[in-house]
Amino acid sequence: GAGVSQSPRYKVAKRGQDVALRCDPISGHVSLFWYQQALGQGPEFLTYFQNEAQLDKSGLPSDRFFAERPEGSVSTLKIQRTQQEDSAVYLCASSLGRGRLEETQYFGPGTRLLVL
Amino acid sequence: GNSVTQMEGPVTLSEEAFLTINCTYTATGYPSLFWYVQYPGEGLQLLLKATKADDKGSNKGFEATYRKETTSFHLEKGSVQVSDSAVYFCALNPLGYGKLTFGQGTILTVHP
């Protein structure tokens, strides 16, 4: 079946521009996560949705970052007034959402954002 | 807080060599532990996992044992192949809903 998809795969933005990154999770997956991966580092948690509810946004680095999942499926991560330090790969992951510690997360290919 | 520390890379091995990538963690409670792998040009994918002390996760010839006494989850493979060249990430999930904490990743290159 189809995995997690993300678009665009690459995005170049000028500093100060707004960007929107899209994630299509696996159908039927309740949980959705966004992570930020800087070059040469491991992914860092940004935010978590259970269906349409954003239950944890503790990892969002500033109020310029905003995420939504209005119908409990597709999610969008928006970054306003982009800065050079926002350059990173943004990963989306989804899981069944049954609340088990060992539950597997399925990752998308990521969106590589470069802010000039 | 929760954290994961992996051995620094890159690691370069010849085909059929033995592999160990060290991973230690700090966490409250009893987290689940994971190894994820990222092959060139591909997304992160789960390699193996363990949910409680002394559990051994295994997949594709890789193994890791959850050692609570040493807070470790070292990845091992007895005989690596060129196709194992990738970036390996150790991660933990301390909470029920899956907020993963990752290590910094270890680049593995296997030469023929």
Give exposure, A88-114, as e/b (b: 16+ Cβ within 10 Å): bbbbbbbbbbeeebbbebbbbbbbbbe
Contact by Cβ (8 Å): B59, B19: no
Encode pLDDT of B51-105 as tens digits.
Answer: 989 999 999 999 999 999 999 999 999 999 999 999 999 999 987 678 899 999 9
Residue B98 has its nearest CB partner, among A91, A105, A110, at: A105
Contact by Cβ (8 Å): A29, A74: no
The predicted pLDDT at position A85 comes to: 96
DSSP assignment of A29-82 equals --EEEEEEE-TTS--EEEEEEETTEEEE-TT--STTEEEE-TTSS-EEEEESS-
Whether residue A1 is predicted with pLDDT greater than 60 in this model: the reply is no
Mean pLDDT along residues A78-107: 91
Mean pLDDT of chain B: 94
Residue A102 has its nearest CB partner, among B32, B44, B97, at: B32
Q: State the nearest Cα–Cα gap between A76 and chain B, in angstroms.
A: 18
B81–chain A Cβ distance below 8 A for any pair: no
A-contacting residues in B 21-40 (Cβ below 8 Å): 30-32, 36
Mean pLDDT along residues A84-113: 91
Using a CB-CB cut-off of 8 Å, the residues of chain B touching A105 are 46, 98, 100
DSSP assignment of B27-73 equals -SS--EEEEEEE-TTS-EEEEEEE-STT-EEEETTEEEE-BTTTTB-
Interchain CB distance below 8 Å, B100 and A40: no
- Nearest residue of A to residue B107, measured between CA atoms: A40
Confidence of residue B41 (pLDDT cuts 50, 70, 90): confident
Q: State the nearest Cα–Cα gap between B103 and chain A, in angstroms.
A: 6
Tell me how far apart the alpha carbons of residues A106 and A29 are, in angstroms, rounded to a whole number: 10
Tell me how far apart the alpha carbons of residues A55 and B97 are, in angstroms, rounded to a whole number: 10
Interchain CB distance below 8 Å, B44 and A101: no
- Nearest residue of A to residue B93, measured between CA atoms: A101
Interchain CB distance below 8 Å, A42 and B44: no
Mean pLDDT along residues B21-26: 96
Please name which of A61, A32, A31 lies closest in space to residue A46, comparing C-alpha atoms: A61
Q: State the nearest Cα–Cα gap between B79 and chain A, in angstroms.
A: 26
Mean pLDDT along residues A10-32: 96
Using a CB-CB cut-off of 8 Å, the residues of chain B touching A48 are 97-99
Confidence of residue A44 (pLDDT cuts 50, 70, 90): very high
